[in-house]
Structure 1
Amino acid sequence: MTVAPPTPTTARPARPASTTSTSSDRRATLIWAVAAMVTVAVLLLVPLWFTHRFYFYGDTQIGSFGQWYHLGSELRDGHWPLIDLQRWRAGNYVAEGQWGQWNPLVLLISVASTFATNAMVFCTVLKVVVAVLGSLGGFLLCRGYGVRREIAFVVSIALPLGGVTQYLDLTTWATGLLVWALLPWAWWAIRRTLQGRNPFPALVFCYLLVTVGYVYGTIYLALVLIGCLLDAAILRERPAFLRVLGVGVCAGLLAVTVYLPGLLTAPVTTRGSWEVLDTNNLPVSLQDYAVSVVPTGVVPPGLGRRDMTPLGYLAWFLPMLAWVRPSRVSSALRPAAGLLFVLVSVALWSLGPTQVGPLRYPVRLLPVVTLCALVVAGILASGATTRPTRGQLGLSLLWVGAAAFLAGSHALYTTRAQLTSFALVSVAILLVWWLWRRGTASDASARLRRQLPAVVAAVMALCSFGFLVLQHSYFPTPQSKERNMPALVSDYRRPLAGSVGDVFMVGAPNDAIQADASVTSDFLTASAWYVDGRPIQNTYTTIGFATYNDRYCMTLIGGVCRPALAMLRSTEPQTGMSRLDLLSVSTVLIRKEGVSAKTLDNPPPGWRVGRETPLSVMWVRERPLPAAGGVVWSSPGTRVETLSEDTRTVRLRVTAVSDQGGTVAFSRLAWPGYRVEGGGSLSDHLVDGYLTTLRLPASTEGKIVTLRFDPPGWPVELAAWTVSVVASIGWSLLALVLWWRRRRDPSRDESPDDAAPDLLDRQAQPAG
């Protein structure tokens, strides 16, 4: 890390930058912020030189883009989707939580995706923009902690180059990327609220962070809020403590809105139980942290693993922390107690089990460790360093050498990469050391001293570019799989050409698609089906409906086993009906592999072979059924007439029912949240174990009965959202009114910039 020139110690720190900075200071800060954004944009082009689909991999192909496209299409059609009956076990979007229906940023991305003609280009541009904005948030967070402009620049360009951010979040986990980008903005804004500024920015960024629906982001935010409360408690500033607590309450109410439906729906899903497991799947170990300063450092979780990328990489310049003067560390980090709390908490969490309930893959935590570690490094570089000695240089080089040796010994096949990294990182550190020594020498000119921080920052940016090229020369592809989904949006419409009504795919073509991209002419995977627009049951979900999944052996990405075809054709015993009829399926797309020609050529009565290719056969009903959602069966002696029907409501007139009562089944999953109005009740004995089933007593004959769906806990969730939003707006307006009054009558009180002066004076202030 670069070294700040020594500054004289005074009894009282300088006044806040907001009251003392000149227009030239602000201009300089703006220039460095823009430089950081431009630099990050250029750096993120490097991976595309080696892998042109780098930002269109894994879950982005089969998850995020399809979900954005579907959500955007629904919004453009005037619908705000909570549940989609035709997607069956993947259609409970509000319980899924990660669709972001409450998030304006996600909604904007979703609508924009519907105008894209090339999914790969759209995702690439979007992710680069998000990464650039996330880096800018990191720059502001650094400045809020008093980090020099030049050092904040170095930190901000390093943030998106962390191993997990680069090889997982940017490539596949889009929700993780959004959370990573929003977290520093929220943190920066919360600290401003702590210092007496208008809470509006903090409330906005907390809203956006929570409503992404990615539970890790909400937990990160909770840790940040606790850290800021700790800062206020240490300073014994009750007003600051209450302001941060207020932000936390508003964010907590939003968490109720976003996550309560999923918790209340969990008992019927595949995530109904909480397990603590150590599956060794994308874990984090102390060895990962030990090699984190080597751009090519990898620590495979098992013997023989050669598919790992440098996920544990944090930053190449961290060994320069050896240049810190120990006597200055305590005073430099005094305003950063909350930051240290978050860093230690997340680092310890990452070393825990690889799965705790729905929380999997500890490597997901490393981007936050990177953020915290680099901001801490920036604080120390700004306020606790001195002119480095040869001994301190030696310690830095020893650190790099030990890390490279450890990485090479854990993955012998990367020995050449580690030797190269050791040599180049050592040269870079030596170059920075020489520049700083030369610029702070007693005979150095005033001009050189003045320009030194900018020169060193530019050199470190060039070194970061070089190490990025080095990384991708050895590790050109992401950690996730190439799912081979099409780039052109028009190509997504080929597999279901000729289908009618609701569709069910039989087979698991995922492996075949990964081996041969041409298979996408016949099949897609998971949420990629959404781009086609036609209703198919094989889309992606992290929750599912347990009994439905078991009945058709369906995986989370929509593949089903071959016996599912026989199950679909079989008769459900209670109703005596075909399961194809109960599901309201009008098209079956079958993967040929493992299915006999006799079976493929003989669809059920009332069906025909609509299309055949070397890989697939499509069965189509001669008379398509209505879409899923309506009545599909009534018990003997029971007759009902459907008066109206939509996604969340069905109104029935009961025209006949026996003295013993009757039963009605609907082609919709029995998600928690259904209720009956006008007579009757939901049956505990579901038809086929998963269909919504209504029990009608004899007294309902001639009456109108309504089946209605609201997400479980819906009144509470709406109330929580309303209170949070109204309180946030009211608080922000009140703060604005008070600021305006103070500005018009300075004698009444201090301005917001001067509010809580003791607190602000005890916060680290930007030092240039």
Structure 2
Amino acid sequence: MSHTLNEESAEAPTADHDAPAPEEKTPRHREWLIVVGVGLAAVVMFSIPWWLHPLFYYVGDNPESFTPLWHQLGEQLRSGHWPVMDPAGWYGGNHAAEGEYSVVNPVQLLNYVVVSWFDNLAAASAVVMVEFLALLAMGVYLLCREYEAGRVPAVLLGLAMPAGGFTLYYAAAGWPLELMALVWVTWFWWAARRYARRRLNPFVPFVLGALAMTTGNPYAALGVLVVLLGLTVELLAHRDFRRLAGLAVLGVLVGASGAVVFLPLADVLVVTSRQHLAMISNDAFQVPHLGDILASSAPTYLPAVVNWNGAVREILPSTYFAWFAIPLLPWLRFGALRHPTPALRGLLAISLIFLALVVGPSNVWLFRWPIRLIEFLYLGLAVLIATLLSAGLATTRVRARAATTVVLVAAGGYLSVAISPEIHWTHAGATAVVLVLVGGALLVHRRFGWRPFGAVLVAGTAIVLAYQTATVPVTGPSGPTRPPVSVSQVRQHTTFATGTVLQLAEQQSVRTQDYADGDLLFGNESILRGHETVNRYSGIGFDALNSALCMNYKGVTCADAFGRLWQPVAGTTVPLVDALRVQTLILQRSLLPAVVDQRPPAGWHVAASDEVRTVWVRSAPPPYPGRVSWASPGVSVQAAEANPDEETVTYQAPADGGQLLFARLNWPGYTVAVDGGDGPAATVRESGAGLVVVDVPPGRHVVRLEFQEPGLRIGLWILLVVTVLASAQAIMTGMSRKLIRRRPTMGKARGGSAADRVGQSGVS
């Protein structure tokens, strides 16, 4: 494509250094050394935000959902347990059904083990995020090269695209599954196109596509689909139907690999709150506008996007792309866009689809908040800009182009000030930095040539990144409340806890010091105490329990929850607090001012009290072993043995039988057997709070309650089958290539196939 760009440009370079020097075919090992170099440079560059703000990569869902759970999952993996289901995680413990915790993705499982060795979870999160940002930089470089971009533009965009506002401030800082999905979609795109050009065995894109699908992020599946559509456009333009058929087979196999993640989710939706989100609507929440994209080179531009808590303006540069992209537009040669090659048509198709989704409705089925797709749009634009840059910069009408660049930079600065004038000096500084860097880069290009020009742009990307993360957002990543960082520190300050912990608290009034030592913890931060906690984080929830405790997705409760705790669970005589086997009750003073100073109920005592919360602890352990929390009158529980997937209870019941209540949520997948399956029948049902109830037969028996994740086994079988089929496709492709090589004269006699012509158009 780079040759096409030069041929179709309206003007040719006038000096040797005005355009990239023609690149000889790079040996494969040397090209991969450059890829590794890009990754190492990215590690250094994306460590800058961490050096400036130790909590930069530990914001939002990272501390409240992911990193503490990764730490726990890693510990379980090191002990030899595959953490598919954990009843002690309550509505957040069905890890396989959650999907986003990726219990089948080998790369993420390895990262969980790494995180489990850290005490400082902010550092652990930074290590994982920088790792994936480096992988993204490497993938973008390879993808740009795949579309025949020169080495310098590919390095430049490889390092610039991961520094985009959404990727850095949202995905890496607080939504890691977004970043991981983008990484594997990028690598899949590169591998799938190489396969489409007969330059790569199809098993490689299958593996990369399966890694994307098993992140558990539905946007990864959407990204894979759009990429396949774009490659289809390219192959149709070449009329290469044979290779298109192979790509279709690859797409089906990659899509089927996601069954192991999405089947368990589909099978539990009936008991979750997630089912209510499937709709097509537009409330304008997190919907960017075309104007935001046009201002995407202004580093401190904070878009006017509807946000949390009713805000109508961002505090993060979420639509930022690359500081040099728009200022360099007047200098690019757009000749190739007048007569696009098939490769360019496919690239444009992918970018246009993502653009339509980015500015589309806020909710389309289970996909919501379109801004989450802006980084996929920027991925396509990064490849397009890299290919355009590879044609060299225009050299005519220099003054007019320079004036246009100044106007574009100034316009970005003005829009930044117009939306958030209270930080006008920050915007002015950013505008000045961009002007100086762009001007300097253009002067360097004019005097010294292409590679020094690229070096200035790469250095400028690091400088802009440092300036941006040092000054934006207005409330820095540490925010008004600092999340707990040290596992050991939290455990040292929460020695009052015993058994199962339940916290009744709201989050708005919590101060930094309330978090740091673990006085009050929300979401999966509660894992840091080292005790089972009912309050957890979940993307799917469990309707019955969440309603019973008026608890949201990260464990925040209402004041009414206290009264509900002492009411009996429907169908039993036991209060909810006992049904949950709660032994430690943390009561926030600001939420329950009339309760915290009163005498606790019989059987409880005050273990700690301060200006933030009061802690009640049960004076005696629960009366039943295992996770049994109640037995109907006349039923005696003699022994119980519990583990995450099953529980065995020995009991004695009267002539009319009875019931056993378990401190387990009734996720789909529970079965019960009496005396190893040889005894009378027993049934599993659900209590009013969503807990498991077993109706047991009379007499003395051993009842075994067992959980098998619905959809997981068949998903694993599907994954195995499609892996075998992908291997077969790879073998057949290799054999086909050998046959083609044995008949070179036939291909030459006919002028080569369409697929061969596609293959000849790329860089190896």
Q: TM-score range by the shorter chain?
A: 0.7 to 0.9
Contact 1:93–1:99 (CA<8 Å) still a contact in 2?
A: yes
Q: What is the CA–CA distance in structure 2 between the aligned matches of 1:179 and 1:389, rounded to whole Å? A: 43
Contact 1:639–1:657 (CA<8 Å) still a contact in 2?
A: no
2:586 aligned with 1:589, yes or no? yes
The answer for the alignment partner of 1:666 in structure 2 is: 662
2:263 aligned with 1:260, yes or no? yes
Gaps of 5+ in 2: 10-21
Deviations 1:587-622 (A, max 9, x none): 222223344577655333333333344433332233
Q: What is the CA–CA distance in structure 1 between the aligned matches of 2:172 and 2:480, rounded to whole Å? A: 14
Contact 1:97–1:259 (CA<8 Å) still a contact in 2?
A: yes
Structure 2 CA distance for partners of 1:718 and 1:51, relative to 1, 3 Å: closer
Instruction: Tell me which of 164, 176, 181 is aligned to 1:174.
Output: 176
Q: What is the CA–CA distance in structure 1 between the aligned matches of 2:168 and 2:683, rounded to whole Å? A: 49
Q: How does 1:530-609 map to 2 (within 5 A)?
A: 530-572=527-569, 574-595=571-592, 600=597, 602-609=599-606
Which piece of structure 1 moves more, 161-170 or 227-236? 227-236
Deviation (angstroms), 1:290: 1.9
Instruction: Tell me which of 45, 64, 79 is aligned to 1:43.
Output: 45
Q: What is the CA–CA distance in structure 1 between the aligned matches of 2:411 and 2:100, rounded to whole Å? A: 41
Instruction: Tell me which of 726, 730, 747 is aligned to 2:742.
Output: 747
Q: What is the CA–CA distance in structure 2 between the aligned matches of 1:523 and 1:127, rounded to whole Å? A: 26
Deviation (angstroms), 1:120: 1.9
- For 2:564, the aligned partner's letter is M
The answer for the alignment partner of 2:513 in structure 1 is: 516
Contact 1:501–1:625 (CA<8 Å) still a contact in 2?
A: no
Which piece of structure 1 moves more, 403-412 or 91-100? 403-412
Instruction: Tell me which of 630, 633, 648 is aligned to 1:633.
Output: 630
Deviation (angstroms), 1:341: 1.9
Structure 2 CA distance for partners of 1:712 and 1:598, relative to 1, 3 Å: closer
Q: What is the CA–CA distance in structure 2 between the aligned matches of 1:23 and 1:382, rounded to whole Å? A: 15
Instruction: Tell me which of 450, 454, 463 is aligned to 2:460.
Output: 463
Instruction: Tell me which of 301, 304, 310 is aligned to 1:300.
Output: 304
Q: What is the CA–CA distance in structure 2 between the aligned matches of 1:8 and 1:364, rounded to whole Å? A: 35
Q: What is the CA–CA distance in structure 2 between the aligned matches of 1:103 and 1:352, rounded to whole Å? A: 31
Gaps of 5+ in 1: 10-19, 440-447
- For 1:374, the aligned partner's letter is A
Deviations 1:538-567 (A, max 9, x none): 111111111211111112111222332232
TM-score by length of 1: 0.86
Which piece of structure 1 moves more, 670-679 or 372-381? 670-679
Deviation (angstroms), 1:691: 1.5
The answer for the alignment partner of 1:494 in structure 2 is: 492
Query: Residue 516 of structure 1 aligns to a residue in which SS?
Result: helix
Instruction: Tell me which of 317, 320, 329 is aligned to 1:313.
Output: 320
The answer for the alignment partner of 2:17 in structure 1 is: none
Structure 2 CA distance for partners of 1:333 and 1:629, relative to 1, 3 Å: farther
Alignment root-mean-square deviation, CA? 3.5
Query: Residue 387 of structure 1 aligns to a residue in which SS?
Result: coil
- For 1:549, the aligned partner's letter is N
Q: What is the CA–CA distance in structure 2 between the aligned matches of 1:257 and 1:594, rounded to whole Å? A: 42
Instruction: Tell me which of 709, 712, 732 is aligned to 2:710.
Output: 712
The answer for the alignment partner of 1:728 in structure 2 is: 726
May I ask how many residue pairs the two structures share in their alignment?
A: 735
The answer for the alignment partner of 2:345 in structure 1 is: 337
Instruction: Tell me which of 116, 121, 127 is aligned to 2:118.
Output: 116
2:295 aligned with 1:291, yes or no? yes
Contact 1:482–1:514 (CA<8 Å) still a contact in 2?
A: yes
Deviation (angstroms), 1:198: 1.0
Deviations 1:708-765 (A, max 9, x none): 32223344323222212332344445556777x67xx963679x9xx98643533685
Contact 1:142–1:375 (CA<8 Å) still a contact in 2?
A: yes
Deviation (angstroms), 1:62: 1.8
- For 2:374, the aligned partner's letter is L
Query: Residue 110 of structure 1 aligns to a residue in which SS?
Result: helix
Contact 1:167–1:478 (CA<8 Å) still a contact in 2?
A: no
Q: What is the CA–CA distance in structure 1 between the aligned matches of 2:622 and 2:682, rounded to whole Å? A: 27
Deviation (angstroms), 1:21: 8.5
Q: How does 1:24-103 map to 2 (within 5 A)?
A: 29-30=31-32, 32-103=34-105
The answer for the alignment partner of 1:444 in structure 2 is: none
Contact 1:85–1:629 (CA<8 Å) still a contact in 2?
A: no
Contact 1:504–1:588 (CA<8 Å) still a contact in 2?
A: yes
Identity of aligned residues (%): 25
Deviations 1:82-107 (A, max 9, x none): 22112211111111111110011111
Q: What is the CA–CA distance in structure 2 between the aligned matches of 1:323 and 1:429, rounded to whole Å? A: 11
Query: Residue 272 of structure 1 aligns to a residue in which SS?
Result: helix
Contact 2:417–2:427 (CA<8 Å) still a contact in 1?
A: yes
Structure 2 CA distance for partners of 1:501 and 1:420, relative to 1, 3 Å: closer
Deviation (angstroms), 1:372: 0.8
Deviation (angstroms), 1:301: 2.9
Instruction: Tell me which of 213, 228, 234 is aligned to 1:225.
Output: 228
Query: Residue 742 of structure 2 aligns to a residue in which SS?
Result: coil
Instruction: Tell me which of 404, 410, 415 is aligned to 1:401.
Output: 410
Contact 1:254–1:724 (CA<8 Å) still a contact in 2?
A: yes
Structure 2 CA distance for partners of 1:131 and 1:494, relative to 1, 3 Å: same
The answer for the alignment partner of 1:379 in structure 2 is: 387
Deviation (angstroms), 1:287: 1.8
Q: What is the CA–CA distance in structure 1 between the aligned matches of 2:336 and 2:594, rounded to whole Å? A: 78
Deviations 1:217-270 (A, max 9, x none): 221112112222232222222332122222212221222210122122112112
Contact 1:629–1:647 (CA<8 Å) still a contact in 2?
A: no
Structure 2 CA distance for partners of 1:629 and 1:213, relative to 1, 3 Å: farther
2:200 aligned with 1:203, yes or no? no
Structure 2 CA distance for partners of 1:87 and 1:23, relative to 1, 3 Å: same
Deviations 1:36-87 (A, max 9, x none): 3343333324334542321222221222211111111111121112221122
2:253 aligned with 1:250, yes or no? yes
Contact 1:332–1:383 (CA<8 Å) still a contact in 2?
A: no
Deviations 1:136-170 (A, max 9, x none): 11000000110000110111111121111121122
Contact 1:164–1:312 (CA<8 Å) still a contact in 2?
A: yes
Structure 2 CA distance for partners of 1:8 and 1:332, relative to 1, 3 Å: closer
Deviation (angstroms), 1:693: 2.5
